[in-house]
Chain A
Amino acid sequence: MALAQGVIKLASPTELSQFLGAAERRAYKQALYAVRNEHTALDIVQDAMIKLAEKYGGKPAAELPLLFQRILQNTIRDYYRRQKVRNAWMTLFSSLAPKNESEEYDPLESLEDDENQTAPAAPDESLQQSQVIALIEQALGKLPARQREAFLLRYWEGLDTAETAVAMGCTEGSVKTHCSRAAHALAVSLKVKGVELP
């Protein structure tokens, strides 16, 4: 569909479907790094997709990536806010409730595999890569939320500094600072774990 003389091309259902199909896995991972819960991450991604389709489904296809990232980051922030309020109430209620010492303690849950006997004997390349990925994801999960957000938007989603600033609702200077700090923290974290990236 074209607006007036065909200058602006609006997103068709197929284009929106293609965009969401290409972006959904990264969006899920971003949400997962932020909230560290698979079900919550899925809920966040679904909310963001529905908001995009309902409110901006008729926008030009070229605007969808930035709009989706902005919606996704806002949905994650909304989750943080709700979680903060919920935690405050939980703290209040738990202080009022009678203390119940761990009745159903299962020692197997905390048993450590000291000799690492469950791991494969000879790790191949893909396993090594999986381990590196796991360490990177772990390091990303430990970053402050804004640093992780800036790093992922800038380097994973491929947004430029200005677009990242729009998606995060901050200045370009802040984006650069967050990215620099995130890169430094990741470098430290990975070096400590002995991870060398070529």
Chain B
Amino acid sequence: MSTNINPQDINPDRIAKLLTRATEQLDDDTVAALRQARNAALERQTINEPVFALGTGHRAHWLMPHSAHQWAATAILFVAILVGGVSYWHHAHENEMSHLDVAILTDDLPMEVFVD
């Protein structure tokens, strides 16, 4: 009986269409029960926010420059901070040396210098 039947004889797409038609003929009680089940599921939906990845990504992203102008401004700011820092260090060092020179010239060196 089954030996001369080819599986290609049936059209799966046609069967799928008929099965879909069958779903449209469900009775009202079943449709209502399915809607109720769907609502119950939706009430329990969890929106899983990957907190670490999202948080870090957004904050870092907000701080990063987005355009060429912003990159240039960032570079200028960086150079200004660098130059300011170096000049401040240089000035402070110079001040320290000049204080020492004045003390030597006025012979007003503190006692601990001689102790060493």
Contacts and interface: CB of A to CB of B under 8 A. Distances in A.
A42 B35 CA distance: 11
Query: Chain B: interface secondary structure?
Result: helix
A183 B45 contact: no
Interface string B1-44: 11001111111111110111111111000110110011011101
B19 A133 contact: yes
Given A5-B61, A24-B34, A49 B16 contact: no
A180 B22 CA distance: 23
Interface centre among B13, B14, B34 (most CB of A within 10 A): B34
A115 B80 CA distance: 102
B48 A28 contact: no
Contacts of A54: 41, 44-46
Contact of B38 (A20, A130, A187, A192): A20
A78 interface: no
Given A10-B47, A53-B45, A197 B37 contact: no
Contacts of B30: 28, 38, 42
B1 A155 contact: no
A183 B7 contact: yes
B16 A155 contact: yes
Interface string A175-195: 000001001101110111000
Contacts of A129: 18, 21
A2 to B, nearest CB: 9
Contact of A184 (B5, B11, B34, B53): B5
B70 to A, nearest CB: 17
Contact of B13 (A10, A45, A132, A155): A155
A13 interface: yes
Contacts of B38: 17, 20-21, 24, 49
Interface string B59-96: 00100000000000000000000000000000000000
The 9 closest A-B pairs by CB, nearest first: A58-B48, A49-B41, A57-B45, A46-B37, A155-B12, A25-B23, A183-B7, A4-B57, A53-B41
Interface of A: 1, 3-5, 10, 13, 16-17, 20-21, 24-26, 28-29, 38, 42, 45-46, 49-50, 52-55, 57-59, 129-130, 132-133, 136-137, 151-152, 154-156, 180, 183-184, 186-188, 190-192, 197-198
Given A5-B57, A49-B40, A50-B44, 18 more contacts: A20-B42, A24-B37, A53-B42, A53-B46, A57-B45, A57-B46, A57-B48, A58-B46, A133-B19, A137-B22, A151-B12, A156-B16, A156-B19, A183-B7, A183-B12, A191-B5, A197-B11, A198-B11
